[in-house]
Amino acid sequence: MDYVRRNRQIANSFYNLGLEKANIRDLSGAVECLKKSLRFDKYQMDARNLLGLIYYEMGEVADALVQWVISTNLKPTDNPADRYLDEIQRKPGRLEIVSQNVKKYNQALWYAQHDSDDLAILQLTRVVEENPHFVKAHLLLAVLYMYHEDFPKAGHSLYKVLQIDKNNPKAQWYMSIVKKNTGKAEVEKRKLKNAFSHQKMQDDDVIMPPSYKENTGWQSVLNILAGLILGMMVIYFLVMPANTRALNNEHNDEIITYSQKLNAKNQELESLQASYDDLKTSADEMESRLSTIEGDNSQVLAQYQTMIGILQAYRSDDILSVARLYVDLDTSLITDESVLAIADAVKTDMETNGYQLLENLGTQAWNAGRQTEAEEYYQKSLEVQPNNPSATYLLGRLYQSQGNSDLARQYFTRIITEFPESDQASQAENALAQLGPASTAVGAADAQTEAEPQEDGESQAGQEETEAGEAETDGTDETAAGSAQDEAGPSEETQTAGETETAQQE
């Protein structure tokens, strides 16, 4: 039976074609192919079962049941239709709902065919809500919307149909009419034209380079990382330096503020230091004044002690001690009136008698080699009695022997000018002659300084004077003679004059 086998082959081919169309959701085309397949071989179970599935998908549940029941009748065993039927019958309410939906659709169709469009639309709206895959209901609803020129709603229903059965001929035809009435057809036509024709460059067109590729997952991650790195670099190189500069400026301002405060404090410290120095100076001055006062008090006390010593010396008739103590007496420091009266009496006594004693004490000290002490005695003698050419001359000779030619010349000149009639005047003139000019007197003064007065004053002096007299007799130089006299102590003339005066006073 070759024709039987051929019919099966043809049926199988139609089934394959229907299956391919079903896979691309061309359900209408698949239905046609599957029906043809069953026309050639009614036992093609796959085609029948697939046809039932397609009916079920398009909302035609009763048609699906018909195909599956026939399928199970023709092939009772090992038939997938059994499972489909079991799935539907397992939910008893499901068949009832489907039945009600079909009845509503049929009623809506009756309304539509009998000029009750609004009722038909209401009914169909409920039907598609309960069974969104009911293709026939969507198509009828779209026709009704189109009739009422509600093309957007019609387009919405048709869009749903084409989602279920993309090559549904009716839906495609209705959709073309809807697009024509809504203007979408022109838009799509223009897009299609632009896609396959030369297109003029627009301002906002972007030409993608041939090397451009859409980013993959890893590229996106790398781009994100690169963005993060760039962001960090921007922060590090742009933001951080600005912040650092701001912080530096702030720190500089703080440093300036602190420097100003420091300068103010330093100035305050300097002023305080100056005040401290002033106060310290005042304190030192006060301390020195206090010590001076204390010293003055001790000096005053010493003067009183000297005064007491003078009185004791008077009591024991020790005129020499009186004169010696009188040298150290400073009556200006004595404030007590009674003591001052005694001091004045002592002064008067010393001015009348004591000055000669002081002169003698000076001569004794000179002869003892105590030139400084001798100088003080002579000075004190002159203070007690200034008109004493003898003491003046001796003081001049003392200075001459010390090499102090200026003072010596001063005292010698004083004798010549103030006491020209005195015995010491001529001696002073000789002494001045010996001194000579200020420059030549130095050698003589050096020679006198080397000599020391003899302890035995008068005898030594006499001996020297004798030698001097011999020198003069021999016609030797006067300067040399004078020098010899100075080295030995006061000259004979001086001694004579002093003794003469002392005798006269006595």
Partner 1 sequence: MGDSVINFEEEISRFKPSLDVEEVEDAIVKSDLTDMTDIMMEMIKEIRE
Pick the binder of partner 1 from 41, 359, 375, 486 (CB under 8 A).
Answer: 41
Q: How many residues bind partner 1 (CB under 8 A)?
A: 42
- Residue 401 and residue 371 in contact, taking contact as beta carbons nearer than 8 Å: yes
326 sits near partner 1 (criterion: CB under 8 A)? no
The one segment of 106-114, 196-204, 384-392, 481-489 that binds partner 1 by CB under 8 A? 106-114
Compute the CA torsion angle 30, 31, 35, 37 (nearest 10 deg). 10
Nearer to partner 1, 138 or 324 (CB): 138
181 sits near partner 1 (criterion: CB under 8 A)? yes
207 sits near partner 1 (criterion: CB under 8 A)? no
269 sits near partner 1 (criterion: CB under 8 A)? no
Please report, as a single letter, which amino acid is at residue 87. E
3 sits near partner 1 (criterion: CB under 8 A)? yes
For 128-138, give one letter per residue: b (16+ CB within 10 A) or e: beebebbbbbb
Q: Which residue has the tokens 């003080």?
A: 376
Long-range residue pairs from 308-316, CB within 8 A, at least 24 positions apart, any chain: 310/346, 311/342, 314/346
C-alpha span between 126 and 134 (Å, rounded): 11
98 sits near partner 1 (criterion: CB under 8 A)? yes
66 sits near partner 1 (criterion: CB under 8 A)? yes
177 sits near partner 1 (criterion: CB under 8 A)? yes
Pick the binder of partner 1 from 30, 31, 45, 112 (CB under 8 A).
Answer: 112
CB of 188 to partner 1, least distance (A): 16
Long-range residue pairs from 137-140, CB within 8 A, at least 24 positions apart, any chain: 137/59, 137/105, 137/108, 138/171, 139/168, 139/170, 139/171, 139/174, 140/105, 140/108, 140/109, 140/112
Nearer to partner 1, 134 or 411 (CB): 134
C-alpha separations of 490 from 43, 62, 110, 371, 469 in Å:
186, 180, 183, 12, 15
149 sits near partner 1 (criterion: CB under 8 A)? yes
Between 423-435 and 441-450, two packed helices, what is the crossing angle to 10 degrees?
Answer: 110
185 sits near partner 1 (criterion: CB under 8 A)? no
The one segment of 146-154, 325-333, 413-421, 459-467 that binds partner 1 by CB under 8 A? 146-154
Task: Using DSSP, state whether 366 is helix, strand or coil.
Answer: helix
Pick the binder of partner 1 from 19, 109, 339, 451 (CB under 8 A).
Answer: 109
CB of 189 to partner 1, least distance (A): 16
Nearest to 488 by CA among 441, 447, 451: 451
Q: Which 8-state DSSP code applies to residue 439?
A: T
Nearer to partner 1, 38 or 374 (CB): 38
The one segment of 94-102, 200-208, 333-341, 372-380 that binds partner 1 by CB under 8 A? 94-102
C-alpha span between 498 and 428 (Å, rounded): 14
Task: Using DSSP, state whether 223 is helix, strand or coil.
Answer: helix
143 sits near partner 1 (criterion: CB under 8 A)? yes
- Considering only residues 7 through 26, tell me which ones interact with partner 1, judged by CB under 8 A: 7, 10-11
Nearer to partner 1, 181 or 404 (CB): 181
171 sits near partner 1 (criterion: CB under 8 A)? no
Q: How many helices and strands in the chain, by DSSP H and E?
A: 24, 0
Q: Which residues bind partner 1 (CB under 8 A)?
A: 3-4, 7, 10-11, 38-42, 60-63, 65-66, 69-70, 74, 95, 98-99, 102-103, 105-106, 109, 112-113, 136, 139-140, 143, 146-147, 149, 151, 173-174, 177, 180-181
